[in-house]
Structure 1
Amino acid sequence: MAQVAVPQATGPSPIRDPRVLEVIARMNASRRFPPREAFDGPVGKDPEAFADYGFSIHPDQGDLIYLLCRGLGAKRVVDFATSIGMSAIYFAAAVRDNGGGLVIGSEFVPAKVEVARRNLDDAGLAEYADIRAGDARETLRDLGGPIDFALIDGWPVAEGPSLARQVVELVAPQLRVGGYILNDNAEPDFLDYIRDPKNGFISITLPIKRGTELALKVE
């Protein structure tokens, strides 16, 4: 197991709930990352092979999600991929503080679904999240109405379009005008989609983590 430095936010969190902050701090302190060679070969493209590892967003990304969702008055948001629930906690804290709503999460690895649900419960946010187990290309196909915000992350695939590209094509039509999409990994084909004017977005690249793309739906 590779040692991972605990990521630090560049400033104080906008979240004020000490219970939520305690769970986030615990999850950050327990981060683990497999050795780089574990990603080589076909096993490296199998998310089940990494069921014991939680791949989570950076605290600055989480604080940005919370702040933007509060500003939007977000009520319905999408969290792909949920992993062990870090991003879902930021989302759920925001929709709760906006008066209530729902985080629709999707996670392929069943063991991580259970951990995410426990972490949300520990943070007092379980009632605001629906974490769907399975392939996001199915679980996010019908979101039951317009959404305000989506995080598009996900596991690399061996060939063909990235999961980020496939999922954004499903989610974008269900995002309301004025809503945001945040992308964690800057997959080239995702960027091609989000930067193509005909798809109705404008976006910027933020200097967070390895480059975080924030897109606003304008039409």
Structure 2
Amino acid sequence: MAKSATAAPRLDPVRLANLEDFDSADLLSGDHCEGQRYTRVQLDGLDLTGITFLECELLSVAMNEAQLRGARFTDCRFEELYAPVFRAARSSWRDVELTRTRLGSAEVFDSALQSVHFDGGKLGYMNLRSSKLTDVLISDCIIDELDLSGARGLRVALQNCRIGTLDVTDAILKDFDLRSSEFSMIRGVGGLKGATVDDYQLNLLAPILAEQLGIRVEG
């Protein structure tokens, strides 16, 4: 029986219309923001715990040290999101596009991401530990460390990315496409079960697999 091809992420396009321009940073935890456009708004350091953004566009918004724990983003588009420290643990992302994102340390652990596209940008430490990723595409990004330890990933693709360290310790993956991306180090290679790599990547993985399995290579 022929093996089935790796399934690609199923992304729903974000369509926004009739947005209301909103230029105030007077947002509070638990707020419900719907149908709004934020341009160059400084949200640094605000407590936005449990906030909801529905059908919103955020352009060149700064969220450094903002507390976004438990936040919900649905049908949203980000362009040039900036945050040296991004705190969004236990957050929910559904039908979201993020373009040219610049994050330093991003704490997004224990979160749920569905139909999310990161397109271009620079990410330092991306902490997605114990998160659930469904239909996620990360393309043309530079990432220092992508931590997926304990995460569950279904139809996830990393395309044309450069990643320093990929940690998949205890991850559960299916249709997880790593082809076309570069890695300097992979931790927890046993968590790569369910991933797809190309021939070149397989050659790079060989010494790591040999070391973990206790295989001696001579000759």
Q: Same fold (TM over 0.5)?
A: no
| Structure of greater Rg | 2
Query: Which of the two has greater strand per residue?
Result: 2
**Alignment TM-score, normalising by the size of structure 2:** 0.26
Higher RCO (CA < 8 A, seq sep 6+): 1
**Alignment TM-score, normalising by the size of structure 1:** 0.26
